[in-house]
Amino acid sequence: MTGTPDETPTNSFVPGGSRRHRKARVSRVGARRSLVLAMAVPVASATLAGTSAFAADGTTGTTGSTVTAGSTAHGAGTGRPGTLTAADAQLVKNLNERIADKRLGPDVSGVVLDGDTDTTLWDHNGATALMPASNAKLATATTALTLLGPDHRFTTKVVYGDGTLTLVGGGDRTLTSAGLAEMTKAAVAGLKAAGRADVKVRVDDSLFAAPSLADGWNQGYYPTEVAPVRSLVVDGAAVQDTALDAGQVFAKQLTAAGITVDGQVGHATASRSAVPVAQHTSGPLSDIVKKMLKTSDNNIAETLLRMTAVERGVPATFEGGVQLVRQVLSAYGVSSDNFVLHDGSGLSRADRIPAATLAQLLEAITRTPALSSIVDGLPVAGEAGSSLGPEWGRFDDAHSKCAVGKVHAKTGTLTGAVALSGVTKTADGEWRVFSFIENNSTADPAGIKDAMDGLAATVNGCWA
């Protein structure tokens, strides 16, 4: 959810990147990514399908003292058959006990992967599709970075024609009034050079197709949790019509610079014959993704879903963006079985994603250099200003506080849904990838999050 201030990431890492038994799969993933970029879209997802990163051998591939993985308590699965190290066997035992925490309710799932050997260490209903909340942003970020590239930038323009300045939205959800002021200055200079002291102001947010609200969004979500999705906004305004609001800010800036604005600001589609007079370019997509993930910004996520569709030439709708998400997941070998997505933020209560899919996706992310900003953008346990910060009551109880600074994970919180998916490094230097989702628990929300944080601390091993 939104509501936390942005903070510059301070922990950059690539899980397992230098470990000797890390499998070299980057070239295969890179080849698939190149295929996605080269192909005209839309195409059938099956065209890009590849072997799952987790359809590997049935053992952990590690050495040392081992025990045999057997049946589990409480009906939880241990993952693939075979042998486990003593430490991993203890991890499985602890997770089997702690997943039964009554605060998590009956509809809970989880998967833990060995980040170095591509094997499943533990699985509890991992294939069950549950409401993922903001964990869906991992798929949105992956799709945008894969198809647009980490250096991609978004451009907002001002054009002039027939006595009218039109502010044209280009999908930059990070545009500020200061950035707009730079365009205003250029526009004013042009007007004065032409001997004009008055102008009409219009806004063009036609880049995105209707509807602006997704299936499964509650009315209480907008405009505070998410605004109707438009291609033009200034200062992240939480209003119903962000484009009109941006135009009004623009008009005020023109007035302050000595230009008379005739009439009210309104909507219009810029004429192709209109003359460009100013433009503003966003920061790189990699930085935008980090901000989105750190603070779980719903509006940025929805804009990125639409802009990826725009740039790839498919309809700039929720459906068009989701179509690309499916293609990209398939390209990385991530299963889309039981995968249902209606938006880019995870606010839709109709979204369903299995924990196994999120874990597979994170494993692919950690192996792909072009996606490093996702890893860098994951909130860190105890990191102030992020969605795992102390201001949100995360990782602050007796069991989980040992994992502060050690767990990097995407949060997800809706009424009736809490999720946590990420990576962590054990004291033995082993990387673990995990995803936990619960739905429909009736426990106190703070208690649910404490239980979820405890599972992550268990994966880290600090809560032994």
In order of 9, 203, 314, 434, 455, the CA distances from 369 in angstroms are 17, 38, 26, 20, 28
pLDDT, residue 61, reads 30
Query: Tell me: the pLDDT tens digits for 12-34?
Result: 334 433 332 333 333 334 444 44
| End-to-end alpha carbon distance in the chain | 31
Across the chain, mean pLDDT equals: 86
Tokens of 295: 């603070």
Categorize the per-residue pLDDT at 82 as very low, low, confident or very high, splitting at 50, 70 and 90. low
What is the mean predicted confidence (pLDDT) over 321-350?
A: 97
Task: Specify whether the CB–CB gap between 244 and 268 falls below 8 A.
Answer: no
Task: Specify whether the CB–CB gap between 302 and 136 falls below 8 A.
Answer: no
Task: Name the pTM for this structure.
Answer: 0.85
Identify the sign of the CA torsion 26, 27, 28, 33.
positive
Query: Tell me: the pLDDT tens digits for 101-139?
Result: 999 999 999 999 999 888 999 999 999 999 999 999 999
H helices of 332-444, in order, are 355-366, 372-377
Domains of the chain, start order: 26-149+288-460 (3.40.710.10), 155-283 (3.50.80.20)
Categorize the per-residue pLDDT at 285 as very low, low, confident or very high, splitting at 50, 70 and 90. very high
> What share of the chain in percent tops pLDDT 90?
81
